[in-house]
Amino acid sequence: MNTLTMNKAATRLLIDNKAFLALALLVIVSAALSDNFLTVDNILNVLRQSSINAIIAMGVTFVILTAGIDLSVGAVLALTGAFAGAMTASGLTPWVGVPGTVAAGACLGAISGAFVAFGRIQAFIVTLVAMTILRGAALVFTDGRPISIGTTPAADLFWQLGGGYWLGVPIPIYLMFFVFVLCWGVLHHTRFGRHVYAVGGGEKVARLSGINVARIKISVYAISGACAALASVVLTARLGSAQPTAGTGYELDAIAAVVIGGTSLMGGRGRIFGTLVGALVIGVLNNALNIMGVSSYFQMIAKGAVILLAVLLDSRSTSS
Amino acid sequence: MALQGIEKRFSGVTVLEGVDLALYPGRVKALAGENGAGKSTLMKVLSGVHQADAGEIWLRGDKVRFTTPRQAMDAGIAIIHQELNLVGGLSAGENIFLGREPRTRLGTVDWARLYRQAGELLARLKQHIDPRTPVAGLSIGQQQMVEIARALSLDAEIIIMDEPTDALTDIETDILEQVVAALREEGKSLVMITHRLPEIFRMCDSVAVLRDGQLVHDGPTTALSENDLIRKMVGRELADRYPYEPPTLGEEMINVDRLSAPGVAEVSFSARAGEVLGFGGLMGAGRTEMAQAICGDVPIKGGEVRIRQASVRFASPQEALRAGLVYVPEDRKQAGLLLEHSVADNMSLAALPAFCGPLGLINAGRERAAVAHYIEAFRIKLQDMHQPIDTLSGGNQQKVSLAKALMTQPDIVILDEPTRGVDVGAKREIYLLINELKRQGKCVLLISSEMPELLGLSDRIMVLANGRISGEFTREDATQETIMTAAAHSEAATETVTP
């Protein structure tokens, strides 16, 4: 019986840290292939480039844990980015503007969540519709043109969130780790987090266990929206302007990060750490292919192959 | 067919040890034993799902070795799993011939022939099911018949049924009994795995008993009494199967007045602290629906529920839990437990508010201590409270279900079929737990389709039929006959009333 448990524990350890192993492997291979990869500058670069996807993906993890899906995060990012840009351009301090943007993202997410919870429509459809509508709204709001954040003192402070450094480390990296610690704490150490897993594991069980399933569902979409909005702040600040077409296709990168991180699309199983690692896997891959001078066309093919490999590994290890 | 010296180990753990078993045409063999005794593993070896580590399988004088279920199937061995393997959206006929559809010369499916043959097979089983009906629209019993028809379509000589009657109503069980008898007449060899002892004696010629992976008995059913069989299964004397204790009644805890809900019509009863109120009836009589309505899972259409004299109307199970009423559902897998999640997470799920500080932060130490306490108190057998719950046996899963409910510190506990799919030894432990609840002054509403269990544990018994109360008995008045009469009689009565 002891060898059985030990085998099981070992397998579990491997399964839980599969994404981490993949990341380590990717880093080793990249370092071997390019001298420019393993430099402090480049690593900070990778982390900063990954931060936007990581922040979005961690929000999406909550949704996927409840067996839902959120396709609207890219569009939420575009619209809330426009809000952030417009607020900053009007001279509003980011101390108000950023929380306002995040709150707006949470509200947009909560609306999708309400349709999923009460409308009994599949999350795929609800968020697909939200994606279309919000993308349109972003175009209407910006009139199809970028909104520059301007050169006011408020804009300078706002810009720091995307382009600034603290102790030599880009601010977006701090934001990414801040979101990670917050999400990790919420998922693994609060009642709410337990309830998220329970709803994904079995809605009927969750309901009979005294969980307000609708409230949990609305909350996870709100979290996903809030994370997308925070990512929009980073992106808008870094670019110095809000683009109405920003974030196109980001939802798929986010879902890919979640899946590479080992979270089950069936809900109830997965970890936020995996998602962070998944986002870094995608980031490292993009970066390494860039340094090696691989064309962006081939990069897409390579990215697809890696995601496929990760999912394949996951399905094999869980079925055995 | 004969099995000789079958051994099977999983990762070094011996699950089967030197098992010999012989099957004969025209004979029905029961395979009995506690959960985890190795019954299912043995049948999986027989049907090619697992390969034996040692031992031989002989089929009609030839030594065979199955490495896939397909090979066993081709050799005429069919297994009907407890969880039926049917595609709900397809018709009965399509399911019977799934993957082996008769073809026309053009290579398309010959639907006329398929449905004709399917109809013949079902008729052989005395089933009046239109083979074009989607399986999802059939009752569990009918679905089982579709599975048996599939086995017959394969010309199976050996048919293995795993817990065939667990989900069947009494009437369906009777039909199954006739089918089993008919198959025996045809010279098929049958194996039945079952927890229900009376059925072993009614349907089977001989019974083999497995205990801890070893064959401890194999002989004709006529040579044994039910108690002998239990002794052989658990390997010890079960002093008293139903350890009844007289109640110490307290105040009235729940009063249900003319409750109406989907499937429930004007049900009234009341129960006190320290009392076990049993609910008998046929399956589908409305007992589960009644429980769901009381606990707020399904909206109430009419009537009133009073808890401690105060009128309540729960909009969700959450509100019921807060008022001290907990419902332990009959369907462990769908409604009771999160199978992939850990024992600890499952057990504390409903009681999390009790372990939470500000911001909803869980006090992990207190949570673990509470889980450890219940694991010990309920004698739940496991290696680690963080192991997934689907690695536990049915009995231990059910104990976790009970612990989960009791962690919420309820006053009123509704138990829906608390011993379904649970072996004899664990059943008794659950009975003792129910007695303990009684002693603690909880009010227990016990829904059970196992008549002896209902009679053995309840202080009073209500009988439901067609969603209505059709009888109420004190412990002294209640017998199997009076309850059956109440359960069935009222059905006949309403049949004449409704056109």
Question: What residue in B sits closest to A186 (Cα-Cα)?
Answer: B361
H-run or E-run covering B487: helix B480-497
Angle between helices A40-65 and A73-89 in degrees, nearest 10 = 120
Provide the 3-class DSSP secondary structure of residue B464: strand
Rounded Cα–Cα distance for residues A220 and A186 (Å) = 11
AA letter at B87: V
Residue A100 included in any domain: yes
In sequence order, what are the residues at sequence separation of 6 or more whose Cβ sits closer than 8 angstroms to the Cβ of residue A251? A56, A60, A70, A71, A72, A73, A74, A131
What percentage of chain B has pLDDT greater than the value 90? Answer: 28
CB A169 within 8 A of CB A108: no
Q: Are B303 and A172 within 8 A, CB to CB?
A: no
In DSSP terms, which residues pair with B59 in a beta bridge? B62
Q: Examine domains B2-234 and B252-337+408-497 and report if their fold is the same.
A: yes
In a domain? residue A5: no
Residue pLDDT, tens place only, B53-64: 888 888 888 888
- Neighbour count for residue B440 (Cβ, 10 Å): 11
Chain A interface mutation, best of B8, B10, B11, B382, highest count of A Cβ atoms under 10 Å: B11
| Three-state SS annotation for chain A | CHHHHHHHHHHHHHHHCHHHHHHHHHHHHHHHHCCCCCCHHHHHHHHHHHHHHHHHHHHHHHHHHCCCCCCCHHHHHHHHHHHHHHHHHCCCCHHHHHHHHHHHHHHHHHHHHHHHHHCCCCHHHHHHHHHHHHHHHHHHHHCCCCEECCCCHHHHHHHHHHHCEECCEEHHHHHHHHHHHHHHHHHHHEHHHHHHHHHHHCHHHHHHCCCCHHHHHHHHHHHHHHHHHHHHHHHHHHHCEECCCCCCCHHHHHHHHHHHCCCCCCCCCCCHHHHHHHHHHHHHHHHHHHHCCCCHHHHHHHHHHHHHHHHHHHHHHHHC
Instruction: Please give the residue of chain A at the shortest CA–CA distance from B323.
Output: A210
For residue B28 the two structure tokens come to 């029905």
Q: What is the CATH number of domain B2-234?
A: 3.40.50.300
Q: Give the number of other CB atoms < 10 A from CB of residue A139.
A: 16
The verdict on a CB contact (< 8 Å) between A210 and B340 is: no
Question: What are the distances in angstroms from CA B116 to CA B97, B113, B120, B155?
Answer: 12, 5, 6, 17
Check CB contact under 8 Å for A194 and B404.
no
Homologous superfamily in CATH for domain B252-337+408-497: P-loop containing nucleotide triphosphate hydrolases (3.40.50.300)
Q: Which residues of B touch A (CB under 8 A)?
A: 10-13, 295, 297, 316-318, 320-322, 327, 329, 334-341, 345, 349-350, 352-353, 356, 359-362, 364, 383-384, 404, 408
Please give the tally of structural domains in chain A.
Answer: 1
Strand, coil or helix: what is B97?
Answer: coil
Contact between chains at B317 and A209 (C-beta distance less than 8 A): yes
- Asked if the Cβ–Cβ distance from B404 to A209 is below 8 Å, we say yes
| ipTM exceeding the 0.85 mark | no
The residue of chain A nearest to residue B333, with distances taken between CA atoms, is: A205
Model confidence band, residue B137 (pLDDT cutoffs 50, 70, 90): confident
Contact between chains at A207 and B316 (C-beta distance less than 8 A): yes
How many A/B residue pairs have CB atoms within 8 Å? 84
pLDDT for A55: 97
- B394: pLDDT confidence band, cut at 50, 70 and 90? confident
Three-state DSSP class for B85?
A: coil
B297 CB neighbours in chain A (<8 A) are 207-208
Domain that holds residue A311: 19-315
Residue B494 — very low, low, confident or very high, per pLDDT cuts 50/70/90? Answer: very low
Task: Determine, yes or no, domain membership for A4.
Answer: no
- Each residue of B362-391: pLDDT tens digit? 998 999 999 999 999 888 888 888 888 888
Considering only CB atoms, which residues of chain A are within 8 Å of chain B? 1, 3-5, 7, 189-192, 194-195, 197-198, 201-202, 204-212, 268-269
The answer to whether A197 contacts B345, with C-beta atoms less than 8 Å apart, is yes
**What is the DSSP pairing of strand B13-22 with strand B62-64?**
unpaired
Q: Do A189 and B10 touch (CB under 8 A)?
A: no
Is B359 in Cβ contact with A190 (below 8 Å)? yes
Residues of chain B with Cβ-Cβ distance to A208 below 8 Å are: 295, 297, 317, 327, 329, 335-336
Helix (H, G, I), strand (E, B) or coil at B172: helix
Chain B environment of A194 (Cβ under 8 Å)? 345, 349, 352, 362
Contact B338 A7 (CB under 8 A): no
CB B370 within 8 A of CB B355: yes
Q: What does the alpha-carbon distance between residue B52 and residue B7 come to, in Å, rounded to a whole number? A: 6
CB B211 within 8 A of CB B33: yes
Res. B457: pLDDT tops 80: yes
Nearest-by-CA chain B residue for A205: B335
Q: Which residues of B touch A206 (CB under 8 A)?
A: 349
Here the tokens at position A105 are 């993202």
Match 């089982």 to its residue by tokens.
B144
Helix (H, G, I), strand (E, B) or coil at B370: helix
- Whether residue A254 is contained in a domain is answered as yes
SS3 B280: strand
Question: Does pLDDT of B490 surpass 80?
Answer: no
Q: Collapsing DSSP states into helix, strand and coil, what is residue B258? A: strand
Q: Does residue B346 surpass a pLDDT of 90? A: yes
What are B254's strand-pairing partners?
Answer: B271, B307
Q: Virtual CA dihedral for B476, B480, B483, B488, nearest 10 degrees?
A: -170
Amino acid (1-letter code) at residue B331: D
Q: Comparing B81 with A197, which gets the higher pLDDT?
A: A197
Query: What's the rounded mean pLDDT across residues B337-346?
Result: 91
Contact B252, B272 (CB under 8 A): yes
Say if strands B28-32 and B189-193 run parallel, antiparallel, or are unpaired: parallel
User: Is A204's CB within 8 Å of B334's CB?
Assistant: yes
Least confident of A313-317, B33-37, B110-114, B426-430: A313-317
**Which residue would you say has higher pLDDT here, B403 or A302?**
B403
Of residues A104 and A10, more confidently modeled: A104
Tell me how close the Cα of A128 comes to any Cα of chain B, in angstroms. 27
- Given pLDDT bands bounded at 50, 70 and 90, which one contains residue B489? low
Dihedral, CA of residue A147, residue A150, residue A152 and residue A156, to nearest 10: 90
On the question of pLDDT at A217 being above 60, the answer is yes
Q: Tens of pLDDT along A81-94?
A: 999 999 999 989 99
Q: How confident is the model at residue A319 (pLDDT cuts 50, 70, 90)?
A: very low
Nearest residue of A to residue B365 by CA position?
A189
Task: Name the residue among A222, A195, A193 with its Cα closest to residue A210.
Answer: A195
Answer yes or no: do B350 and A212 touch at CB < 8 A.
no
Q: What confidence tens digit (pLDDT) does each residue in B158-202 have?
A: 888 888 776 677 777 888 888 888 888 888 899 988 877 888 888
With beta carbons less than 8 A apart as the criterion, state whether A149 and A241 touch: yes
For B469-483, write each residue's pLDDT tens digit.
988 999 988 887 788
Q: Which pLDDT score is estimated for A115?
A: 96
Residue A292 vs residue A65, higher pLDDT: A65
For chain B, what are the domain ranges? 2-234, 252-337+408-497
Confirm whether A186 is domain-assigned: yes
pLDDT in tens, B219-265: 888 888 887 887 787 765 555 677 888 888 989 999 999 999 998 99
Residue B386 near residue B375, CB atoms below 8 Å = no
Confidence of residue A65 (pLDDT cuts 50, 70, 90): very high
- Give the three-state DSSP class for B130: coil
Q: What is the pLDDT of residues B270-323, one digit of tens each?
A: 999 999 999 998 777 889 999 999 999 999 999 999 999 999 999 999 999 999
Q: Which of A174-188, A211-225, A306-320, B361-375 has the lowest mean pLDDT?
A: A306-320
Average pLDDT of span A163-174: 93
pLDDT on residue B271: 94
- Which of A209, A233, A217, A285 is closest to A65 using CA atoms? A217
Please tell me the predicted confidence (pLDDT) of residue B272.
94
Contacts with A1 from chain B: Cβ below 8 Å: 13, 383
Residue A271 resides in a domain: yes
Contact call for B359 and A268, based on CB within 8 A: no
β-strands B302-307, B310-312 pairing: antiparallel
CATH of the domain at A67: 1.10.3470
CA B174, chain centre distance (Å): 17
Closest CA to A127 of A144, A114, A142: A114
Q: Collect all residues of chain A within an 8 Å Cβ-Cβ radius of residue B408.
A: 210
Query: How far off is chain B from A5, nearest CA to CA, in Å?
Result: 8
The pLDDT-based confidence of B334 (bands split at 50, 70, 90) is confident
Mutant choice from A209, A211, A263, A318 vs B, greatest count of B C-beta within 10 A = A209
Q: Does A208 sit within 8 Å of B329, measured CB to CB? A: yes
Please give the average per-residue pLDDT across A96-102, as a whole number. Answer: 95
Q: Give me the residue from A7, A210, A268 closest to B317, CB to CB.
A: A210
Interface contact flag, A209 B11, Cβ < 8 Å: no
Residues in contact with A92: Cβ distance below 8 Å, sequence separation at least 6, in sequence order: A154
Rounded CA-CA distance B308/B241 in Å is 33
Which chain A residue lies closest to B15 (C-alpha atoms)? A1
Contacts of A195 in chain B (CB under 8 A): 352
C-alpha angle B409-B343-B16 in degrees, rounded to nearest 5: 130
Whose tokens are 């048996």? That residue is B148
Q: How confident is the model at residue A316 (pLDDT cuts 50, 70, 90)?
A: low
B318, B298 contact by CB (below 8 A): no
Question: How far apart are alpha carbons B327 and B336 in whole angstroms?
Answer: 9
* Maximum average pLDDT range among A109-113, B79-83, B196-200, B423-427: A109-113
How would residue B499 be classed by pLDDT, with cut points 50, 70 and 90? very low
